[in-house]
Each structure stands twice: as C-alpha cells, then as structure tokens.
Structure 1
C-alpha cells in the first residue's frame, strides 16, 4: 500500500481504526542521517505495551489511573522511498475487545475540537455558559452526542490552555495591562498595585467610576483603598491579626467584623477532636451561632457550650456582630457569592449586573406594586422604597406575628420571643433581632408593635434609609453609558469609530435601495472624506469633554 505523504497515511489508518473500534498513536519515528528529514514512522494500537512500573509505586500520590495497555500487537509501519510512503508491515489482530464505531468517537485519540467549534465555545464561554451546557449546544449543532467529536473535559482543557496562553507574560502583568486599558477608556477607573521588595505583586485594588460614586454616596459595607477620601462604616474581613491591627490604626471610626463564613469553615479543623468525639456538638454549635437572638443569649449559650465540651482553654472564639449596619452581609462575600461572581469575565459580569439594576430602577419608577394591607404606611413605603424593598416590606405585612406590646413571638409558638425597646414619643423601636440595624429594613416584629399602637398612617423618618429609596441617585450625574459617576467621561477613538460604523451601516442600507440614492451618498462621502483629510489635527477629546451629556448620548448614539 502506497501513500503520497505520512499525513495521508496517518489519516487513513486513523479513519480505519475508528471504523474498526480502536485508537492509534505514534510508536516511533526515524529521521534521515543526512538532512534529518522524516523517513519512517510506526503507528500502533493505543493499547500496545504495558503500564510503566512507576504507576505501580505504592507511594504514588492520588488514585492510580485505570490500566489501558494490554500488550496489543496491532500496528502499521511505513517507510519513505523516493517521494512515496510504502507500508512495510501491517498487523490487524487485536488481543482486546473492539468498540463500536459510535463508541470509538469517545476515545481520546479520536477526539478533537474543530475551529468552528472553538469559535462557538469562545462565544458561549464569554457569555457565562458552563462547560456542560456548552456540550449540550454542541450536541444539538452536531446532531447528537457521538457526533460532537469531543467531550466536556476537552472543552475545559481547551479553555484552560487558552487562559494559560493569555497569561503567558504572568497574571500580574496581564492584570496591570487590563487596568491601564480600562483607565484609558474611563478616567473614573482607578487602581493600585502594591509590590514587595522583589517587585512582585502582593495586593491589588480596582474600582470603576460607578463603584466609586456608589461608595461615596452610601459608604456602607464596601472596603476600598482610595474611595474618594471616605472611610467605610463597616468592614468585614478574614480573621487576620495584621488586618485587624491596620484597621484599628487607620480606619478609626470603622466597625471591624470578622467573616462568619471563614470562621465556620475553620470549625472542623480547630475543633476536630470535638467533632469526632461528640456527634451532637455540630448541631448545638450551629444553634448557638445562628439561632440566638441577643448578645447576652449568645454569650450564655456559648459559655454553656464551652463548659459542656471542655473548651475553656481554646482561644478560638466567634465575633458576634449583628448590631452594626451591614446591608444584609454576614460574610466578606468573597468566598461565597463573590468567588462565583468573578469566575467569569469581570467586565461582562459587571455590565450584566448594572443592566439588571437599571431594569429594576425603570420598573420601580414606572409601576406600583399591589398593596397587601389597608395601612397607609404601606402605601407610603411603596412610594419611597425601590421595587426590591417594596416586596420585602410587603412580605413583612403578610407574616405578622402574635401582637403583643414590647414582645413578639411567632404565631403558634412560644419561642423565640423578640423584645422591643419602644419609645412612644419618638415613635422609635429597637428589636432584639436587629434587622433594621443590620439590613436597614424594618422587621415584622417592629411593624407588629406599630400596628398594635396604631402607628400605621406614616413611616417614621428614622426608618427611611436613603440607601434603599427610589430617589437615592437623583442628584448624581450620569455618564455617556448611563452609569452613575461624577467624573468627566473620555470618548476614546475606538468608541467613536464603533459609533460611526453603526451609523454608516444605517446610511448604507438606505443608500443601496436605488441607484439615485447610491450616487448621492457616494458623492457625499467623497466630499466629507476630502474635508476630513483637510482638517488640522485638533484635540477632539478636549472638545468632546466640553459638550453636554445629552449631546454625547444622542449625536454619538451611545
């Protein structure tokens, strides 16, 4: 059997192997002693030979992979003679079971991601589609799972290889390049990179214009370095002595709290001997952390827990922090939701979140929720609060507990009992659940007291936090993309070019409808082209900065 080149021989033998039910690999190649060109090659069955002894090492870390090599002798050897490749040896017998042609497509030697599939995978991945869902799309496009030509692990490996290639200069350098690019496009974007003595990155910080203005406006639970000179009111961090010391020295008026998620993650490690010896400890521990209401109740139950299980000498202790405003955050949101949040591309993810927020803003301003009660307080709240908070408050009206002055318990239950310190003249109540102090929203326990005391005609101003209101951003200037910032936008050449291209496409669509329109547009474009070339170089960016925002949005179609 003769082939024109070795690639044709390989493709032929591979196609034969797929139909027959096995996969192939190269055993060895022979090169010319004169010019080092390829003069011989031998292809063998993928199950040829036997496992190397290193795989049998008992000290090998991790599980041993399954055996695949069984000493199969099937092979095809080729030798180059003049300009042709001749088959010198061919063995067709296998000592193992052969697969069906459909199943053979799942063998690693027959799996490959085509160029078209790579483009589709890139598009889906940038849109946040997971690997298993990408495989579902590829399956539908190919007419079935066996026709895809790859499996989910191949998709993951492809993207892993692509990411490593993107970061071949180093992830720190790539991050720095990304930050500088963002700053060129938006002067409101700021970043800072801290390096060690060897010039290696230790810490980094970044924030776009929208985050900065939101921080300046609310100043609640965000920790950032250069946020317009304003310190946060509350900061939630990992349990780190150095961080705690720095916060105490620099952020004097900031309440420092530890991340509950990280603390709970350390429990099995710190108290492993207790976990193994006392099966009931875990349930009692979580009850102490999550189900106690007041600090006194927590400390009492904690002391009983420490004494019961002999933990008096253990320095590890939970920092309870439910009395400071945290906008509903009990962790750093880095290890839980934030880790998931930043798995995709930061830019596309942030844009999606901003768009979702804008949709909620529009919905809030253009619609009114259906009221669930006859109280005027609910109607007033519906006019003040955003859509999300309206729903939250409505649910509180639906879930009223047993009505008692100063004390409220769930309907039909004796516990837990929530106590209220109610100041009648100031119409102010403090509940032991501390939901208002923690989230900034009235709890159903306080609402129960208000209803009982007939304070249902209006919502006391003390309980209206600007953070959750509809008009919270009314005095903030919007940039050309609608983002909330207070910095002057910079219109990049790329942005202007893209805007013009969109405009040109619309004009070209009209100009191609008839010969008369085409000739008119062609002459107009030639005239404008000559005029543009004759113009002197002017700093257009400075000019655009002086234009009002509505002009930039409407005339640049941004």
Structure 2
C-alpha cells in the first residue's frame, strides 16, 4: 500500500494497493492473542513474582489475573508469555552460575542485614562444596534459646540432591526457631566437622547444652571432635524406626517386642533396673549377639531415660522439631529447583515459622489460660509469668502434687530430705531442701532437665508454707518476657536490619493502599469514568 501526501490540500490518500500481500484481519475477540498486543508490564511482573513466591502454579496465577482483569482477553499476556518470563528471569539470575548467584544473594542479604553470616568451603579444585548461613534473627534466637538444638538432614531439596541440614530449637512458646542452615556436598564426617565448626563460629562459639541427632555415625563422630563438651542425644523416633527395620521379624503376630523395647527407652529411671530388663529382653526374644542391638546398647547413655535423666532436654527426646521442619520444606520445595530459587523459598518457610511466634504472642495476651483454682497464689503467679504452653505444663505438675504424700522426713544438718510417694505413679522420690540457700533438689530431676518444678517439689513447697514460686526456679527462657532486652522493630525485624527496599518490597507496601483506593472509587460511577491509567 502506497500513501501520498498532497501538500496543497494537506491530505493523505492511497495511491496504490495490492491485496495479495495482506492477511485477513482478526476478529476483535482474537486481538489479544497478537504478539504486538502482549506484554507483561512492570507491575504485572511484580505480581507474577509474588504469586510464584507463595507457591501458586503458573496456571493458577494466570487464572487469578484473569479473574482480576475481567477475562483472559484483558490480562495483556498469555500463559506462554508468563513461562518465557520465568525462563528469561532464571537465565538472567544464573548469569554467574548457580553457586555464584547464591553468593551474590548472600552479599545482598548481608548489605541489608549486617548480622547476616554465611560461609562456604572449597575443595582442592577451588569448587564450593559446603555452604552455611544464618541471618540476624537466627543468631539472636540462638542467643536466647540455643540451649537445646536438634540437627537433621534431608535429601532432594534441590536438583543437585544436596543434603540440607537445619539447626532447630524452640522458643518460650515452644514454637520452632531456626538457628542456621547448610547445604552439604555429602554426609561424611569431614563435611559435618566443617558445618558444626562454622555453626559455632556464627554464634560466637557459644555451644548448646544438648544436641539431638539421628544415629548417623559420621555425625556423631563430628560432634565428639568439634564440641566434646556438648551432651549428644539420639533421636528416640529414629531408634524405634531402626528397630522395626532390623528386628521386624520379632514383631509378628502378638509379639510385644516393640513395646518392651520402648519401655527401655522411656520408663526405667534406675540404671540397675534398666540393665536387668535389657538382659531380660535379650533372653526373652533370643537376640544375644545381634549386631544392631549391640551397637545401640553401646550408645545407651544417649537414649535411655535412666542415663538421660540428668541431661537438660527441655522435654525433647528426638529430632521431631527437625522432622516437622523437613516435612514443611519437602512440601514447599521441589527437587528440580536451582539453588538460588531454593534459597528464596527456604526463606519463606522460615518466615512462616517465625509468624507462629507472632500468633502465639497475640493469643497469650488475648486469651489468658484457665486457672483451675483461681484463688491459689502459686497458680496466679505462674499464669502471669509463664507463656500459656509452659503454664499448662506447670499446672499439670501442680495437679500431681495434689496426689503426692510425704512419706518421711529426715534432718541432715541444714538439709531436710522429704520422701515423696504418689497415688498415680510407682516409685519413691527424694526432695532435698536446703534451708540456708533456699534451694530444692528432686531425684526426678524435672527442673534440671525441663526447667519447671515437678509435682514432688511443689508438694514440699506447700508443706513449707511457700505460696509462690521462688525466683530461682523461674527460667527466663520460659517466661512471657523472654525477648525483653532484644531490640526488635514493630514488624519483627531486628534493629540492625537495613530498611532499604527493593521494587518488590515497595510494591508490597503500596499495594494495600492501592486496593483500598480502587475499592473506594468503584463505589461511585464517577470514580470509574475517568481515563484509565496505564
């Protein structure tokens, strides 16, 4: 087609037209499919990224755009464009390679959070093998709640099948807190040596009191080398699973082997009784010389109750904290993910865990736990001081004290020994009261291991006429104000974190206001009649 401009008349007209080289015009309903009409705008790109971050599939996120826009033809792009957008973004993000891009991400994180710690290990060919990281909040949480730590690894978290190791504990609400994470090259002792050493370095070489792991031999050897002073406990759940695996033939029909073996882990407090019952189990099921049982027995100090009763556990006897975290990770993360994407989604899982504390904090102030005897000063004090979950544990011990009886009392100088028997449990317990130092020590070691007074000690307090919990026996890690002294901003970020925001952050801050504005405008005809802003 030729168009000529007539200068005299100042008009245009078609001077020549050849219809053989033209396509038929599309009907209006198909116009949105033309390539020239398709484009993902900057604002849409942000929303596409946010939808991906929360786990929406590309199809579901596109369906969401369709509903918001009033139909697929009004979205402005197709699912294919969305797929190409992600591929281009991923290629651009991996311009320095997977590990290089991850390190760039670490550096960016460190620029925003000066407390962010990361480290990596190189092999002989200067290739990165093991990686560890912990942000400022993880380091702060460890300072407050790092007495008990569980560590476990899980496979298939990324396409390289690298084991992911996560250090986990729990806070004053008994909600999970994460102290650090690592991507390992393998599960050898050398790798675990590096990970444990780096973990301590990240936390100013403060060692946990007790560390729980599974029965991995390389992991156990690394702990004995890097932190020999730390009490190493074995996960009772893994032991039970291994018992089923190695001795399943003994669990057929009406066999009681599993319950008998479980009793050895949890029931016997006396060492002599444990040793007697162990021999009885070997004889009953004729398993003398069984290799797995012999190896497990050699580690009895790490799993049997009678050997663990003086160990600080806070009620933990397994890596259940890590297991539940791994289940969440496996649900959210796919093995085909590249490392930078994995790291981003891992951060979202961590944020989800941290929000649990926000909910627990709100519920603790909104709903005070029920006190069964409201006039009792001891329970009123406990409800006010302890977080709800810890108060429930404490109140349960108080109920046990009601069933306890003082069988005998002996004076040994400044010490008073009370023999306590209970109507609901076998055995006798001795509670020693030091009148001069105002201290209590029970043979059940409840306070030393869990951090709250047992029913036996509470019975003695009642006999002594003490109506309040002594301050000595209120651990800060269990109280409502456990975080007091740690400067946190209103949004839960530590004060050292930079407030420099990227485009996505700014978009998230502006989005709620934009939605409210659009909703308000939509209530009036004049509010939607103005020219659309593009």
**TM-score of the superposition, structure 2-length normalised?**
0.57
How many residues matched? 367
2:431/2:457 contact within 8 Å kept: no
2:405/2:422 contact within 8 Å kept: no
Distance 2:125 2:329 in 1: 28
Task: Give the CA deviation at 1:501.
Answer: 5.4
Question: Taking structure 1 as reference, are residues 220 and 279 closer, same or farther at Cα in structure 2, changes over 3 Å only?
Answer: same
Task: Give the CA deviation at 1:488.
Answer: 3.7
2:372: which partner in 1? 372
Question: Taking structure 1 as reference, are residues 475 and 433 closer, same or farther at Cα in structure 2, changes over 3 Å only?
Answer: same
List aligned pairs for 1:40-55, cutoff 5 A: none
Distance 2:458 2:116 in 1: 42
1:402: which partner in 2? 404
Helix, strand or coil: the match of 1:235? strand
Task: Give the CA deviation at 1:469.
Answer: 0.9
Distance 2:457 2:112 in 1: 48
Helix, strand or coil: the match of 1:262? helix
Distance 2:496 2:430 in 1: 45
Cα RMSD between the aligned structures? 4.6
Equivalent in 195, 205, 209 of residue 233 of structure 1? 209
List aligned pairs for 1:291-306, cutoff 5 A: 291-306=267-282
1:195/1:203 contact within 8 Å kept: yes
Task: Give the CA deviation at 1:322.
Answer: 3.4
Equivalent in 130, 142, 145 of residue 215 of structure 1? 142
List aligned pairs for 1:508-523, cutoff 5 A: none
Q: Does 1:444 align with 2:424?
A: no
Question: Taking structure 1 as reference, are residues 422 and 486 closer, same or farther at Cα in structure 2, changes over 3 Å only?
Answer: farther
Equivalent in 308, 326, 330 of residue 343 of structure 1? 330
2:446: which partner in 1? 435
1:194/1:201 contact within 8 Å kept: yes
Task: Give the CA deviation at 1:512.
Answer: 10
1:403/1:449 contact within 8 Å kept: no
Distance 1:304 1:453 in 2: 43
Helix, strand or coil: the match of 2:406? coil
Helix, strand or coil: the match of 1:397? helix
2:117: which partner in 1? 190
Q: Does 1:326 align with 2:302?
A: no
Distance 2:273 2:249 in 1: 26
Question: Taking structure 1 as reference, are residues 322 and 173 closer, same or farther at Cα in structure 2, changes over 3 Å only?
Answer: farther
Distance 1:273 1:289 in 2: 20
2:404/2:455 contact within 8 Å kept: no
1:401/1:445 contact within 8 Å kept: no
2:356: which partner in 1? 356
Equivalent in 259, 283, 286 of residue 259 of structure 2? 283
Q: Does 1:487 align with 2:496?
A: yes
Q: Which moved more, 1:208-217 or 1:464-473?
A: 208-217
Q: Which moved more, 1:182-191 or 1:372-381?
A: 182-191
1:294/1:433 contact within 8 Å kept: no
1:476: which partner in 2? 486
Helix, strand or coil: the match of 1:325? coil
1:375-429 CA distances to partner (integer Å, 9 max, x unpaired)?
Answer: 3221222222112212222233334423235455553x5x422513322414444
Distance 2:444 2:259 in 1: 21
Q: Which has the higher contact order (CA 8 A, sep 6+)?
A: 2
Helix, strand or coil: the match of 1:471? coil
2:295: which partner in 1? 315
Question: Taking structure 1 as reference, are residues 258 and 486 closer, same or farther at Cα in structure 2, changes over 3 Å only?
Answer: farther
List aligned pairs for 1:62-73, cutoff 5 A: none
1:187/1:490 contact within 8 Å kept: no
Structure 1 unaligned segments of length 5 or more: list them: 1-118, 142-161, 523-558
Helix, strand or coil: the match of 2:295? coil
Q: Does 1:248 align with 2:248?
A: no
Which structure's CA Rg is the greater one?
1
List aligned pairs for 1:19-168, cutoff 5 A: 126=54
1:72: which partner in 2? none
Distance 1:253 1:447 in 2: 32
Task: Give the CA deviation at 1:466.
Answer: 0.6
Q: Does 1:385 align with 2:386?
A: yes
1:461: which partner in 2? 471
Distance 1:513 1:337 in 2: 46
Distance 1:267 1:503 in 2: 58
Distance 1:265 1:386 in 2: 33
Distance 1:401 1:501 in 2: 58
1:268: which partner in 2? 244
